[in-house]
């Protein structure tokens, strides 16, 4: 599933062709994805001007002139495809309609935004912009990793006394927004922490050190355009490249990259998810 860097990369790709533009027409080609589309969704989108695009955790939100916001979740295989406009160094003509093109937005400026989702685990919703983070889908999400609310004092307080493994704690969206399996594995490697270490037994100094590491890993991944595993592509169709910088994720049995370490990357399963780590460098 796309994590914060992939979602942020897609948002940045959409922004120049959507912000300030009017949705000239909207086509909704099926009744639902992960859950049903809102009633009259195409009608409510058509004619609306996009005031801005923002991200909350793994959601993209397009704020509209109608007082509503279009919420987008990519799910497991959802892709945003942009055609008919210059996106970075690329210009793509409108392709022929594809089987899994479920929502198509034609902008007044000539761009087309297509939501394609082969496995249909993605979602779209229309919500009142004024509700902000009070909407049920957003209300329980923790602070953004790059926001002022995510700091050493906050994280120390949230992890204090928790018996859950540190890997699971950082995956908890109520603790911090947007982190997923890939980037938590990479953060814990840089921190030298075994993924099964109880979160509540970490020292305040160790927990404080996680905050800049989380930001560094996410910033590097965004700069690289995210990580392309299976279905993920950037909005211009290009792959992300951070997977070439993985130090642990998906590297089971390969040598640890720490100079002088002779161990090989190991894998354990925690709550149904694979955790990759170096048994020597991470304690």
Catalytic amino acids?
A: 2-3, 58, 273
| Distance, CA of 178 to CA of 173 (rounded, Å) | 7
Taking the mean position of all CA atoms in its chain, how far away is CA 2?
A: 5
Beta-carbon contacts of 191 under 8 Å, excluding residues fewer than 6 positions away, are: 206, 209, 210, 213, 282
| Distance, CA of 224 to CA of 98 (rounded, Å) | 28
The two most distant CA atoms of the chain are separated, in Å, by: 62
| Backbone φ and ψ of 280, nearest 5° | -95, -45
Residue that is written with structure tokens 């087309």 in the block: 112
Burial 31-48 (b: 16+ CB within 10 A, else e): eebeeebbeebbebbbeb
C-alpha radius of gyration, the chain, whole number? 20
Beta-carbon contacts of 131 under 8 Å, excluding residues fewer than 6 positions away, are: none
| Distance, CA of 214 to CA of 170 (rounded, Å) | 10
């Amino acid at each position: 599933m796309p994590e914060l860097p992939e979602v942020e990369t897609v948002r940045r790709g959409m922004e120049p062709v959507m912000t300030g533009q009017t949705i000239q027409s909207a086509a909704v080609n099926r009744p639902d994805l992960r859950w049903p589309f809102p009633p009259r969704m195409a009608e409510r989108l058509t004619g609306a001007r996009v005031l801005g695009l923002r991200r909350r955790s793994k959601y993209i939100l397009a704020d509209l002139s109608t007082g509503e916001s279009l919420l987008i979740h990519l799910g497991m295989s959802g892709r945003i495809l942009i055609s008919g406009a210059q996106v970075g160094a690329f210009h793509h003509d409108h392709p022929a309609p594809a089987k899994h093109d479920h929502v198509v937005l034609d902008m007044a400026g000539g761009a087309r935004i297509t939501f394609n989702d082969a496995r249909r685990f993605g979602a779209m919703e229309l919500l009142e912009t004024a509700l902000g983070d009070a909407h049920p889908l957003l209300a329980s999400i923790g602070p953004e990793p790059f926001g002022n609310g995510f700091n050493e004092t906050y994280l120390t307080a949230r992890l204090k006394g928790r018996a859950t493994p540190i890997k699971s704690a950082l995956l908890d969206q109520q603790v911090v927004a947007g982190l997923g399996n890939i980037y938590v594995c990479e953060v814990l490697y840089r921190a030298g922490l075994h993924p099964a270490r109880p979160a509540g037994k970490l020292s305040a100094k160790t927990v404080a050190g996680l905050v800049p590491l989380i930001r560094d890993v996410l910033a590097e991944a965004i700069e690289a355009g995210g990580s392309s595993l299976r279905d993920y592509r950037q909005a211009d169709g290009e792959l992300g490249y951070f997977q070439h910088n993985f130090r642990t994720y998906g590297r089971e049995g390969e040598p640890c990259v720490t100079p002088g370490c002779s161990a090989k990357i190991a894998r354990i399963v925690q709550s149904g998810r694979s955790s990759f780590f170096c048994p020597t460098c991470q304690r």
